[in-house]
Amino acid sequence: MLFPTFDFLLFIIPTLVGFWLLADRPVARGLWLLFASYFFYMAGPKTEPAPAPAYFVGLLVFSTILDFVCGERVHALADAVEDEIDREVVGPARRRKRLWMAASLIGNLGLLGYFKYANFFLQAVADVAGAVGIGDITPYHFDVILPLGISFYTFQSLSYTLDIARGRLEPEEKFWRFALFVVFFPQLVAGPIVRARELMPQLRLGPRFSAAAMEAGAFRITKGLAKKVVLGDWIAVHLTDKIFDAPATFTTTELLIALYAYTLQIYADFSGYTDIAIGVAQMLGFELPENFRRPYQSRDIAEYWQRWHMTLSGWLRDYLFFPLVARMGARFAYVAVWITMFLVGMWHGASWNFVIYANIHAGARVFSRWNQVRERERSWGYKLLLWPMLLVAVGAAFVGLGRGVMHLEWAGALTLGGVIAAVFALVAWLPETGSKLNTVAHVALTFHLVVFSRIFFRAQDLDTARDFVHGLVHPDFSHGVRPGLVSPWIAAALIFGLVYHFTPQEWVDVHAKNIFRKLPGPILGLLFALFILGLMLLMAGSPRAFIYFQF
């Protein structure tokens, strides 16, 4: 079910009441929450097209049982692996431990790979074969439906086994408690990705009722609903969907407006879900990790991924990047950076669009790392040799993207490559720190790189992305915005949303929350009623699924 619906209200009220009525009975309280979480997952969002059937909950149960057993076996073999006296048991124990770890990795990532990437892999092989002239291959297509939340709960469940293998976590004795960790409904289907060592201790200790936590939770839920419905769904229905569905029929100005609108929309949609998830968890007495920290205020792409979907980038950093560097050595750190960031991008979807999206962010992250560690005080001869080579390489890469993938004419491809190369040159030329104007320049350049990459994130397919890019690199500003496309209310929402995002975070999370908490009960109740009424009018009875449900 979707958060901004009457169905969820009918679900959450008895869930909260039953949970706190069982406050003195920890096992019954945990089982009640476990039952509610499975019910929440099986109810599914009422969207079109319909999500995976309810019986796909079996995959969730499979991942839960798999990692519970693998975690226990890995821990049981830990002492034998580290035995320095009886060397004869070390080798077999190490092999068995690796087998159990392999079972967890293959079981979790195998399911994710099959449901999410199998069809794209087969299609990619056929496309590449056709491109190199091997022949016209018709790939086999698996008739699969992506299970709701599989990208989130596989990473979450897998972190349990990985942390036990690293000696950072003791295995959970109670299966029901581990199952609750995996299926905890506020963040089950769209994050944040919670690691076992973050939530399991809270589940063992049990929650404590707090009026302050209830107030903080209500505030987060209110903020999340406003983001989702007003800055997410409303803008999508009345603006971005229209333009992204047929970009070839819109002017350059309209395409740019759609890009900025979608950049705001996806932040409001995803961070709105996170706000609601954290708020519901607070009302249940649990703390979930933050997932967003004003990402569009970032000074470079590295900082952006430290502020956007923080739990995903942190997960891949700790479980992929650091092990890669440890295995390959510091000399291959750039390779590890590219692999990690490429997988961050591909985690979001299985299509050629996301291959381009992933490479844009991976390449920008590699450049950002180099720009931070390079020696800036170099001779002019070195700079005159390095910079032309670097800019030609960056420009050539995007010219190749424009010609080979986007099917642009030479003029458009050269425009694309030239603009991107100029942006990279400007980023490298600017001092890393300095005046406020310097900071504004870094933030603006990083923000617009993200905005450009949204074309490939949002477009339905590669052809749609081509039309969009074509409209940008062959600009026509002779026609502005057609009447009625951007209403005054939509324009006001766009301006407010972007300005809101660039304000200091404490204005909302500290000062506005304090005002919220000090309001008298009757006034707060009246404001809530008006707020809900406004949301119902905006949704017109048709709430949209959160964007990250598809991942």
Question: What confidence tens digit (pLDDT) does each residue in 205-226 have?
Answer: 878 778 888 888 888 998 898 8
The mean pLDDT of 236-260, rounded to a whole number, is 91
CB 551 within 8 Å of CB 347:
yes
Per-residue pLDDT band for 383 (boundaries 50, 70, 90) equals: low
SS3 292: coil
Q: Is the pLDDT of residue 183 over 90?
A: yes
**Which two three-digit tokens encode residue 131?**
């491109």
Which residues have C-beta within 8 Å of that of residue 468, sequence separation ≥ 6?
A: 244, 247, 255, 455, 459
Q: Which residue has better confidence, 291 or 134? A: 291
Q: What pLDDT is stored for residue 144 in this prediction?
A: 80
SS3 93: helix
Q: What pLDDT is stored for residue 387 in this prediction?
A: 63
d(Cα 464, Cα 462) in Å, to the nearest integer?
Answer: 5
Per-residue pLDDT band for 481 (boundaries 50, 70, 90) equals: confident
Q: Is the pLDDT of residue 130 over 70?
A: yes
d(Cα 422, Cα 416) in Å, to the nearest integer?
Answer: 10
d(Cα 508, Cα 506) in Å, to the nearest integer?
Answer: 5
CB 369 within 8 Å of CB 335:
no
Per-residue pLDDT band for 89 (boundaries 50, 70, 90) equals: low
The mean pLDDT of 394-413, rounded to a whole number, is 82
Q: Where is average pLDDT lowest: 340-354, 427-441, 447-461, 479-493? A: 427-441
Q: Where is average pLDDT lowest: 14-18, 128-132, 417-421, 485-489? A: 128-132
User: Which of 188-197, 393-402, 530-539 reaches the highest mean pLDDT?
Assistant: 188-197
pTM, rounded to two decimals: 0.89
Q: What pLDDT is stored for residue 443 in this prediction?
A: 92
- Calculate the average pLDDT of the chain: 85
Q: Is the pLDDT of residue 48 over 60?
A: no
What are phi and psi for residue 250, nearest 5 degrees? -120, 160
d(Cα 408, Cα 417) in Å, to the nearest integer?
Answer: 11
Amino acid at 277: A
Q: Is the pLDDT of residue 8 over 60?
A: yes
d(Cα 242, Cα 321) in Å, to the nearest integer?
Answer: 39
How big is the CA angle at 50 (ends 226 and 45), to the nearest 5 degrees? 35
Q: What pLDDT is stored for residue 530 in this prediction?
A: 81
Q: What pLDDT is stored for residue 275 in this prediction?
A: 93
Percent pLDDT > 90 in the chain is: 33
The mean pLDDT of 245-271, rounded to a whole number, is 92
Distance of CA 501 to the CA centre of its chain: 18
* Active-site residue flag, 474: no
Q: Is the pLDDT of residue 536 over 90?
A: no
Q: In Å, how far are 259, 261, 272, 486, 490 from 495, measured between CA atoms?
A: 14, 10, 18, 12, 9
Rg of the chain in Å (alpha carbons)? 25
CB 265 within 8 Å of CB 495:
no
Q: Is the pLDDT of residue 310 over 90?
A: yes
CB 229 within 8 Å of CB 4:
yes
**Which two three-digit tokens encode residue 295?**
């990402």
Q: Which residue has better confidence, 322 or 522? A: 322
Picking from 275, 216, 283, 291, the residue whose alpha carbon sits closest to that of residue 3 is: 275
Per-residue pLDDT band for 508 (boundaries 50, 70, 90) equals: confident
Per-residue pLDDT band for 511 (boundaries 50, 70, 90) equals: confident
Q: Is the pLDDT of residue 384 over 70?
A: no
Q: What pLDDT is stored for residue 479 in this prediction?
A: 78
Out of 75, 309, 348, 501, pick the active-site residue: 348
Per-residue pLDDT band for 179 (boundaries 50, 70, 90) equals: very high
Per-residue pLDDT band for 358 (boundaries 50, 70, 90) equals: very high
CB 171 within 8 Å of CB 531:
no
Q: What pLDDT is stored for residue 432 in this prediction?
A: 74
Amino acid at 176: W
Q: What is the largest CA-CA distance in the chain?
A: 82
Q: In Å, how far are 6, 53, 394, 464 from 349, measured between CA atoms?
A: 30, 21, 25, 16
Q: Domain residue spans in the chain?
A: 6-121+138-205, 208-289+485-551, 290-473
Question: What confidence tens digit (pLDDT) does each residue in 283-308 have?
Answer: 999 999 999 999 999 999 999 999 99
